[in-house]
Structure 1
Amino acid sequence: MEFADSGDLDRQIKARAQDNFRYFQEHEALFLFLQLCLALDHIHSHKMLHRDIKGANVLLTSTGLIKLGDFGFSHQYDDTVSGVVANTFCGTPYYLAPEIWNNQRYSKKADVWSLGILLYEIVTLKRPFTATSMKGLMAKVLSGEYAPIPEKFSIQLRELVRVILAIDANERPGIRELFQIAYVKEGLKVFRQTVKKNTRIAEDVKEALISHVSEILSSESVPESRSGLVGQINLDVTFKGYVKKLGSGGGRSWKERYLQIARGVLILSDSETDQEGKALSLEQVQSACPVPFCTAKREFVFALNTIGGKSMWFQAESHKNMEMWIDAIHRGIGVS
């Protein structure tokens, strides 16, 4: 496969389109897609979203492997939906999921949608949805109608694109569910063998890739919608424990507090026995995510962001505990 050194996938797609639509071979397109899936699986396993998947962020190498770059949006802990729409993708958000256009809560499946848009571009060398205005683009995306994929590609690949580009996030598969699709699973097996035989790939990279693929192939299918419908509050989620909370008003003081989630409400108290804690409905919670050490100046800090644009920072007792808090909040608000 031809890769421009230090080039990116967006340039490769445009160059092929200008060269009389010189399509990728199906195995080339599939290998690009599988590597993107593996990268997203790694990101999602760390309780994060990428939120800026596009061809320009997919860096190509002469070994045939890709690198998914630009994690700027995934590290922003206080972003809003309007901010994402306004600032992502150089002002034209071709890759935004329908739920974001509809100003709804979004989950890891928003990244999967972006991945589907990119897969469509890889196989057609065109974008599925285009318009001359934001309003027009939104209408095109929400219609879910796009030009068919060339018949030179298999029915299985065309069906894969259709499944990923489901308008309803609840009908859209998560990354781990994608790996259970027979076409994808067989592709992973071939990809693993190809990586094993590639002498240009560094041994440590090769071992990490093979290990990741092998773990996926040996795992059972686990539904990713454990918390119910995307955006639906899950009253069954419970979690509690002591955390440290950053003081409001721009201060840098951290005070121990007792935090608990129960029956769709998040309660912050001075102690476990305090009966007069402050309650916040999970309906008002937009998201939760890690705060980088370089920003928080402390380890194990996570931010809880409200729909109103406010952010509260908490410090967990360990990295594992931080991930458990984020997971509980995400399950509670239906975006796990």
Structure 2
Amino acid sequence: MAGNVDLSSEYEMREQIGKGAFGAAFLVLHKETRKQYVLKRVRLAKQTNWQRNSTLQERDMVSKLQHPYIVPHVTSWITQGHTVNVVYGYCEKGDLATLMAKNNGTPFPEATLKLWLCQMLLALEYLQVQKVLHRDIKTGNIFLTAAGDVQLGDFGLATYRETEGDRPEDMNLVGTPHYMSPELLSQKGCSFKSDTWSLGCALYELTAQRPAFNAFNIHGLVTKIRRHRMAPLPPGYSAEWGGLVAL
């Protein structure tokens, strides 16, 4: 649950596992249960009003999301009025982008990719019911548990979406360029379909071990995405899977 009681003393710092412009992520150990979690700390002091509101919205949003394929929120608090602390479940095998790099080109089994796709589609279905747009689905934001299940995380760019009508904030280009949908790049706005497109790009990348769309500059990248220009998938996968992953 989200609260304002400082729970820092309940956790033992193990190591820093990530760092951003306004904060960092730490692997921590709960002193009583001896269970590992991830503590994300974000400083509000130097953020713009938009960034501050986004950080506080993320804290509130993740506290309400409960799904087996979304990284679980454990608790949160604000210290000294300017540092947001959020404790998340720990995915022992890290994110899929890092896992791909460690595998050094070794392909994932088709059965594994199908399992991950089903799990992510269930997560997206749940988010749509909750009226939540993730807006930054990519391999680096999909995490793998010790049991081999995937969980969607990092809701820093997420927003609520009540209807499919246009809103000013939906027209903003937010997210990671390689995963942006043609509609978003054409300034038609962000929708639940945009999240599905981004997931498709992630699955292509996991299959081919390379981005679905790549170019030397942003103009070339946008052109390829709009025209759906991507390289064929490597051999070794079924025609059924190839047809499913093709965007």
Band the TM-score falls in, shorter-chain normalisation: 0.5 to 0.7
Displacement, 1:76? 6.6
What are the residue-to-residue correspondences of 1:76-115 with 2, within 5 Å? Answer: 79-84=169-174, 88-89=175-176, 93-115=177-199
Contact 1:13 1:121 in 2 (8 A): no
Q: Which runs of 5+ in 1 are unaligned?
A: 166-336
- Quote the sequence identity (%): 34
Matched AA of 1:126: R
Correspondence for 2:201 among 107, 112, 117: 117
Displacement, 1:75? 2.8
Displacement, 1:157? 0.5
If the length of structure 2 is used for normalisation, what is the TM-score? Answer: 0.57
Correspondence for 1:12 among 77, 99, 103: 99
Matching of residue 131 in structure 1 with residue 218 in structure 2: no
Displacement, 1:83? 4.2
> Aligned residue for 1:69?
153
**Root-mean-square deviation over aligned CA pairs:** 1.8
Distance change (3 Å), C-alpha of 1:8 and 1:72: same
Matched AA of 2:100: I
| Cα distance in 2 for residues equivalent to 1:144 and 1:94 | 12
> Aligned residue for 1:260?
none
Q: Which runs of 5+ in 2 are unaligned?
A: 1-90, 162-167
Displacement, 1:123? 0.8
Q: In proportion to residue count, which structure has more helix?
A: 1
Number of matched residues? 151
Q: Rg: which structure is higher?
A: 1
- Aligned to 2:235, the other structure's residue is in SS state coil
- Aligned to 2:146, the other structure's residue is in SS state coil
If the length of structure 1 is used for normalisation, what is the TM-score? Answer: 0.43
> Aligned residue for 2:107?
23
| Cα distance in 1 for residues equivalent to 2:209 and 2:216 | 19
1:70-99 deviation digits (Å, cap 9, x = unpaired): 112223787353442xxx23xxx1100000
1:121-173 deviation digits (Å, cap 9, x = unpaired): 111111111112211110111121211112310111111112xx2xxxxxxxx
What are the residue-to-residue correspondences of 1:1-336 with 2, within 5 Å? Answer: 5-16=92-103, 18=104, 21-75=105-159, 79-84=169-174, 88-89=175-176, 93-162=177-246, 165=247
| Cα distance in 1 for residues equivalent to 2:216 and 2:114 | 31
> Aligned residue for 2:22?
none
| Cα distance in 2 for residues equivalent to 1:8 and 1:28 | 15
Matched AA of 2:171: V
- Aligned to 1:79, the other structure's residue is in SS state helix
